[in-house]
Chain A
């Protein structure tokens, strides 16, 4: 008994009890903070009944399993929240699954709300999460594969539709998960670090979501979902840049409306990155590009501003970032107040104080709104970050700087892949069968296979 206790470092909530099951001495071990005591007692009573009746396979039921005693398995089972009955004489152990950890209801995630459609979200329990998906997709080819990490209790699960997902993509995911070092991880972000194609790229290579409906339609497109056992966040891959612009709202709205807003979101990508840089370029280098009527107005507005446009832009952009950070950390009602006070009052005060022009406030506000249009918070953050180097390039070299930045950005995106699938597909390389799905919400939902690995001329390239 002491040996087992030592294995769990004599933790105060670890319990080992000597019990007798149908006349046989046994040890019952469990974490008192993780099990449902009533369920364990019930299982023990049932077990005694089955042993008394001499039933075959007395140890096996929906929530119990018997096997030869093994210390590592004992540790894993107890850490997972099971109660384990050890029979020292017969060298057997019986696992009773009666986990009881607090679980919240599957509410809609706060940062992924939709107007129409399902209002459910994942919770911190994989079994409940997969239940939500199976409830939506009642089909036998929905496959779950579990990967247990040696010497740790973290479990990873991949979910895919066997008839939709490309086998090479599924195999790639399997290999990457199998090759992970045996370390505990606590968030999907840590997991991404291990399985991404290029870790130093600012662009996310997996789509993260807490929405079952989003996972469902991505599975139907042939993607693979990766769940950890303790996080509501799911990773979806392979993705392309355009996947981050798709919202569940697209499929619950009218065809034309959904298409229109998808195009608006894609336009917002360019606006959010390039608009402040464009304004700085025009004001610093290329004011002759403006029509004469506008030039007069713009000049009169900026003539009293003592600072160059880059300073104005950096001041306001940093101010917007501060407001955003503050409103996230504060309780929701106060956060909204801070955003309003910051946005309107301080913005107006900055203009009145002559630190920034009206036009710059308009540009920065439009850019901020364009940035928040992206349905994915990860890409949203990337876009907000990228506008700073573009602003600096624009302030240094004008349109030439913007062009250099844009080309480097495109080359980077072309080099990027998600699970070996090109990040800009189906635009580059061009795939006419999927091209229209990128820009339009097509009238019917047609699931398709993922584009295969990088291929040139139909053959796998280096």
Chain B
């Protein structure tokens, strides 16, 4: 029986997958490239999510998930997951477990992922709900930093060179990673999805990432961003609250839960790309998948590998979220129409 989800479940899955890992780190690269202009540059780029999702929602049926396309996206999402895993291993090693081998941490992540993959589809679809209170708690923690915000950090604008803005535009693509999941997840929603809902989702996404960028900008000077690869974590670490000495330590586990679930959604999507004959052997698929993921993930857990995989994903995202959907949808529409005319 085909899986059916509601539009609300679709947007929750998409939000978790898109925010999952990058929201802690995209700020530094963007601010280093575009300086104080980063926030308006991101705002401009972020507005593109509205037409992007609208087009996906309009033409998703013309994007056929089979053959080479399914294979390419499967490989791409697998690499996204492996780089997430490597990043999780690296970050936990730096922030919380310097003496624990990264492999052990990754193994734990993969065990949870395996259990998630063995669960029924309803669990994968709904598990994002447990993040909602965590996200609210996290936002409260972030906003505790407002009392130390320096509003003038956002200005003056327009000092960045055009070439740097171009570089910044590329970095601003990172929060969009995962948007192409909409094309697959949308097929599980029966009937039409109202454009208004798509716009509301786009607004929530944009507001979330804009806050994640503006808050560290208000907290740190532009020069400091060169020293702090995860500004949100440093921001929480620097905050003085009476009930806890290290807010960042609590946050890191919220982020980790977020990343686990984001990876679960990617895994769910990859499993749905498998041909039906292979898909039925669920436990074998999940075990093989997790072993492979662990093998690749352990190769991506060094500082250099994390940087390289992050840069690779920026370019890969342009191909898989923009170029390939455009080509496939246009191709199917043009050739589909011709075939229709010929058969008529």
Contacts and interface: CB of A to CB of B under 8 A. Distances in A.
Interface of A: 285-286, 288-292, 295, 397-404, 406-408, 410-411, 414-415, 422, 427-430, 454, 456-462
B52 interface: no
B246 interface: yes
A397 B105 CA distance: 9
B216 to A, nearest CB: 22
Nearest to A429: B126
A399 B260 CA distance: 15
Interface in B1-42: 1, 3-6, 8-9
B116 interface: yes
A404 B105 contact: no
Contact of B108 (A400, A422, A459): A400
18 contacts: A286-B96, A397-B97, A399-B249, A400-B105, A400-B108, A404-B111, A404-B112, A411-B112, A411-B115, A411-B127, A414-B127, A415-B119, A427-B129, A456-B4, A456-B9, A457-B9, A460-B1, A462-B120
B330 interface: no
B243 interface: yes
Contact of A457 (B5, B108, B127): B5
Contacts of B1: 460-462
Contacts of B8: 430
B311 interface: no
Contacts of B257: 403, 406-407
A285 B245 CA distance: 14
Nearest to A288: B246
A216 to B, nearest CB: 32
A454 B122 contact: yes
B107 to A, nearest CB: 11
A461 B105 contact: no
Contact of B121 (A290, A404, A460, A461): A461
Given A288-B246, A289-B245, A289-B246, A410 B6 contact: no
B242 A457 contact: no
Interface size class of B (residues with CB under 8 A): 35 or more
Contacts of A415: 119-120, 123
A429 B124 CA distance: 12
B321 interface: no
Given A407-B260, A461-B4, A400 B92 contact: yes
B245 A292 contact: yes
Given A399-B96, A414-B126, A457-B190, A408 B3 contact: no
B256 A288 contact: no
Nearest to B4: A457
Given A404-B111, A414-B123, A462-B1, A457 B6 contact: yes
Given A295-B245, A400-B96, 10 more contacts: A286-B249, A289-B246, A292-B245, A411-B112, A422-B122, A457-B9, A457-B189, A457-B190, A459-B4, A462-B3
B127 A456 contact: no
B250 interface: yes
A415 B244 CA distance: 35
Contact of A461 (B111, B116, B122): B122
Given A291-B244, A462-B121, A408 B9 contact: no
A404 B130 CA distance: 14
B284 to A, nearest CB: 19
A267 to B, nearest CB: 13
A291 B245 contact: yes
B9 A398 contact: no
B126 A461 contact: no
A458 B127 CA distance: 18
B275 to A, nearest CB: 18
B123 A403 contact: no
B270 interface: no
Nearest to A414: B123
A399 B253 contact: yes
Nearest to B256: A403
Nearest to A286: B249
A292 B127 CA distance: 37
Contacts of B4: 456-459, 461
Nearest to B189: A457
B6 to A, nearest CB: 5
Contact of B123 (A288, A292, A411): A411
Interface string B316-340: 0000000000000000000000000
